Amino acid sequence: MTAVLHATGLSVVHRTRSGPLHAVSEIDLTLRERRTLALVGESGSGKSSIAKALLRLPPPSAGTVTLDGTDLATLTPRALRALRPRMQMVFQDPLSSLNPRRRVSDLVAEPLDAHPDPARDRAVVVARQLDAVGLPSDLFGDRRPGQLSGGQAQRVAIARALTAEPRVLIADEAVSALDVSAQATVLNLLRRLTEERGLASLFISHDLGVVRAVSDDVAVLQLGRLCEQGPTEEVLAAPAHPYTAALLAAVPEPGRPLGDTGLLPADPPSPLAPPSGCRFRTRCPLADARCSAETPAMHEVAPGRTAACHRPLIP
């Protein structure tokens, strides 16, 4: 599987009135062709900060990001602008990113209008992308965003991203605002397009249910640090990190009151003053003295699986 986007040592520090806020610390990630990596974590764990840093919007505070082997930090502003269409992002609220006055066909053509290519016929390109997301252009091309459901609007945003012929697709909470049936449609679509168009996809979510449905691999983020990575099915079947286990236990089940798991009892600590050692230790039922003294490093806990924990649940 070809590595398309590779991030090493990625860190993001936000300047705040209360001092530097370490939103993301020393993250390593690889996105591969035809694969979806899910990035999962609670609100405030740094998921969106990572997505923006990968796109250099703004650049990370430290670390390297390469796209097809090119270090993005070495590019001139012009070369970076030319490469940007290769990395597309789809957001939670499609209506906020679609101009309400434009027709669907014009919205989908936007990347081509920005970077005209005489070899690509506008109408053909638009029809192809709209077909790919299940919104035939003869039925939907003349509509405005206000005449679409939330799921249809998100599919238009995806069609527009496809027009740019991306290598990388980043979906940031892209189904969180949709109802369950629209969620299923968009998740199936993202899976299929990742395969058919050879995309390297990053799917950002706080919801392990949708992560299970869409991703091949999962990276679990806790207070700005990765704590576990591996194939989604294996990680969700038998998590190695107590934080992943707590997240899984917090997934609502029929008959169990929301939040009544007892496993994530407190809010996460402030990223302005993270705990010493393991950042999960103040909420971890297994924490011992070593967890406050030493920051656990990512290490292999099973073939193809890594975790940053002194007391992993996998022996």
Give contact residues for ligand ATP (rule: CB under 6 A).
Answer: 14, 16, 21, 23, 41, 43-49, 206, 271
Least gap, CB of 97 to ligand ATP (angstroms): 16
Q: Which residues contact 100 (CB under 8 A, 6 or more apart)?
A: 144, 145, 146
Q: For residues 231 and 227, what is the distance between their CA atoms, to the nearest angstrom?
A: 14
The gap between the terminal CA atoms of the chain, to the nearest Å, is 29
Pick between residue 19 and residue 146 the one whose CB is nearest to ligand ATP.
19
Least gap, CB of 48 to ligand ATP (angstroms): 3
Least gap, CB of 276 to ligand ATP (angstroms): 18
92-124 exposure pattern, b = at least 16 Cβ within 10 A, e = fewer: bebbebbeeeebbbbbbbebbeeeeeeeeebee
Q: For residues 49 and 15, what is the distance between their CA atoms, to the nearest angstrom?
A: 13
Least gap, CB of 278 to ligand ATP (angstroms): 18
Pick between residue 43 and residue 149 the one whose CB is nearest to ligand ATP.
43
Least gap, CB of 57 to ligand ATP (angstroms): 11
Least gap, CB of 60 to ligand ATP (angstroms): 12
Strand partners, 8: 64
| Long-range contact pairs involving 110-117 (C-beta distance under 8 Å, separation at least 24) | 110/160, 110/163, 111/85, 111/160, 111/161, 111/163, 111/164, 112/163, 114/85, 115/82, 115/85, 115/164
Residue 131 φ/ψ, nearest 5 degrees: -60, -40
Element (H, E) at 188: helix 180-196
What's the CA dihedral at 253, 256, 262, 267 to 10 degrees? Answer: 70
Q: What is the identity of the amino acid at 108?
A: V
Q: Which of 157, 174, 244, 204 is nearest to 53 (CA)?
A: 204
Least gap, CB of 251 to ligand ATP (angstroms): 16
Pick between residue 39 and residue 168 the one whose CB is nearest to ligand ATP.
39
Pick between residue 22 and residue 281 the one whose CB is nearest to ligand ATP.
22
Least gap, CB of 44 to ligand ATP (angstroms): 4
Q: For residues 37 and 169, what is the distance between their CA atoms, to the nearest angstrom?
A: 11
Pick between residue 94 and residue 271 the one whose CB is nearest to ligand ATP.
271
CA angle 149, 153, 158 (to 5 degrees): 145
Pick between residue 48 and residue 152 the one whose CB is nearest to ligand ATP.
48
Least gap, CB of 34 to ligand ATP (angstroms): 26
Q: What DSSP designation does 72 have?
A: G
